[in-house]
């Protein structure tokens, strides 16, 4: 029986690298995969998943209106799909997470979703909240704070390195915009 997996972590924990490794493992065994990534994130180019260590792969960009269940089952009807991998899963809608669960439950296709749990204010993303609620397996990937403790929070900083306290929940950026911190250091930074 296929399952819906949610791999979550703070920034810079290797989520995309882990996804690309899982994709490689499936393909190495002659299995077909479908990769999806949020259309809003074009840092590696539109429809591309990239990792900080230089790995990358083509992916199908999803918008809030994309019907993931229909997209995968259409392909699965002509060419078996052995696994669906989703990068930037925090940008999924709750309805799309339901579609991914239906892929596992009705089409018997495993789904591995990778994303952030919380935004720069410590609030859950819609997609992450739903994944945390209904996934069959929750796997936390670890990142390390500057103090050596596990990083669980994503601090957004401005050009001068000062914490950002308000703004849009979705603001794409990498090491230049976000710092992974433990809860204690995140709280201290936000109090400045």
Supply the residues annotated as catalytic.
Answer: 88
Rounded-to-integer distance, Cα 188 and Cα 116, Å: 21
Residue the block writes with tokens 């997609």: 127
What b/e sequence results for 74-109 when a residue is b if at least 16 CB atoms lie within 10 Å of its CB, and e otherwise? eebeeeebbbbbbbbbbbbbeebbbbbbbbbeebeb
Question: Chain centroid to CA 28: how far?
Answer: 23
């Amino acid at each position: 029986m296929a399952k819906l997996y949610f791999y979550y972590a703070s920034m810079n924990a290797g989520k995309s690298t882990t996804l690309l490794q899982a994709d490689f493992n499936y393909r190495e065994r002659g299995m077909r995969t479908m990769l999806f990534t949020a259309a809003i994130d074009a840092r590696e180019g539109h429809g591309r998943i990239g990792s900080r260590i230089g790995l990358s792969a083509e992916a199908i960009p999803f918008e809030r209106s994309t019907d993931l269940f229909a997209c995968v089952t259409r392909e699965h009807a002509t060419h078996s799909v052995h696994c669906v991998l989703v990068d930037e899963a925090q940008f999924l809608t709750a309805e799309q997470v339901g579609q991914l669960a239906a892929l596992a439950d009705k089409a018997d296709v495993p789904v591995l979703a990778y994303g952030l749990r919380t935004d720069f204010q410590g609030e859950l993303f819609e997609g992450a909240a739903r994944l945390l609620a209904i996934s069959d397996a929750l796997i936390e990937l670890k990142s390390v704070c500057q103090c050596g403790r596990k990083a669980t929070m994503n601090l957004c900083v401005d050009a001068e390195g000062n914490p950002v306290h308000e703004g849009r929940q979705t603001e794409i950026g990498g090491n230049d915009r976000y710092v992974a911190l433990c809860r204690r250091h995140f709280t201290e930074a936000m109090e400045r």
